[in-house]
Structure 1
Amino acid sequence: MDRTYVDETNRRVITEFRAGGPVEGMHRERLVLLTTTGRRSGRAHTVPMMFHRDGDRVLVIASAAGALRHPHWYLNLAADPAVTVELPDESYAGVAETLGGEDRERTWAMLKQTYPFFADHEAKVEREIPVVLLRRAE
């Protein structure tokens, strides 16, 4: 996909989301704006993405639609887990934590059942697709 198109779409989605109204072509109630710190640049980078509420947990999935490599936002938070989370109903300073072990396996199975396209993404790659918890900073 053309990088310019992706950047322009992300800018539009971020602007529409922050304005508080509908987000063209997206389900606002499933969108989160995640701001990470660039691992090389040290600058703030905000990306819109789908999130899932699992009880009181807010989860994002680094599938990148089945791309061979982890998305840049995931590499950024792996280097520095301090993030800003903007949900439809609240914003907070957060800490990103990649799920592991039994929690990751159980949660990943639930996500694939809830959103079958994640199974399609998984089938395209050899990497383990990270599931990330966005918890409040203390």
Structure 2
Amino acid sequence: MAAGVRLIQKVSSTRTFARIAPYVVPAMDRAVHRLTRGKVLLSARMLPGVILTVRGAKSGQPRTTPLACMPEHGSTGGGSTSWILIGSNFGRPGHPAWTANLLAHADEAVINWKGHDIAVRARLLEGAERAEVWQAALTFWPPYATYQARVEREIRLFRLERRDTS
């Protein structure tokens, strides 16, 4: 593993990062994503990322959130067929708002993945399926273990799968 990645993982596991990152990282991602017309997501230089758009659980208004993701590849090879979203909230108390939005409007989400809008269906992972994906997430980004250790809630995991829009 490159020294730079280890350093980023160490920094992202700190409480200071957890306090600052939720305000700085999404704002930078939104600005760069908008300026590059969806071609660049700054945080994706560390982890793959998507821009999630889903109606607010309470407001009903479209909510757009840049998020790290864990792409899953299908047996056909090539591009991602599904994506895992981890509601870590940087190890802060409380589930992030976007998780409530997905629970309320699971069949209406859209992600922007590498500049392409893709209609997706979200599913909250539970039980053995969640446990298996959680282990994969810890291998993918070890700081998730630190985030989980800081909070009493179980971090929500969602699988997003392409949905037919025809």
Normalising by the smaller structure, the TM-score range is 0.7 to 0.9
5+ residue gaps, structure 1, are none
Give the conservation status (yes or no) of the 8 Å contact 1:97–1:134: yes
Relative distance call for 1:129 and 1:109 in structure 2 (3 A) is same
Which runs of 4 or more aligned residues in structure 1 lie more than 6 Å from their structure 2 counterparts after TM superposition?
A: none
1:67 equivalent to 2:86? Answer: no
Structure 2 counterpart SS, 1:92: strand
Residues 1-138 of structure 1 mapped to structure 2, 5 A cutoff: 1=19, 5=24, 8-16=27-35, 18-20=37-39, 22-24=40-42, 26-27=44-45, 30-56=48-74, 57-81=82-106, 82-88=108-114, 90-138=116-164
5+ residue gaps, structure 2, are 1-18, 75-81
Structure 1 counterpart SS, 2:158: strand
Alignment-mate amino acid for residue 95 of structure 1: R
Q: TM-score, normalised by structure 2?
A: 0.72
Structure 2 counterpart SS, 1:18: coil
Structure of greater Rg: 2
Relative distance call for 1:110 and 1:17 in structure 2 (3 A) is farther
Relative distance call for 1:105 and 1:16 in structure 2 (3 A) is farther
Name the % identity: 27
Relative distance call for 1:59 and 1:91 in structure 2 (3 A) is same
Q: TM-score, normalised by structure 1?
A: 0.85
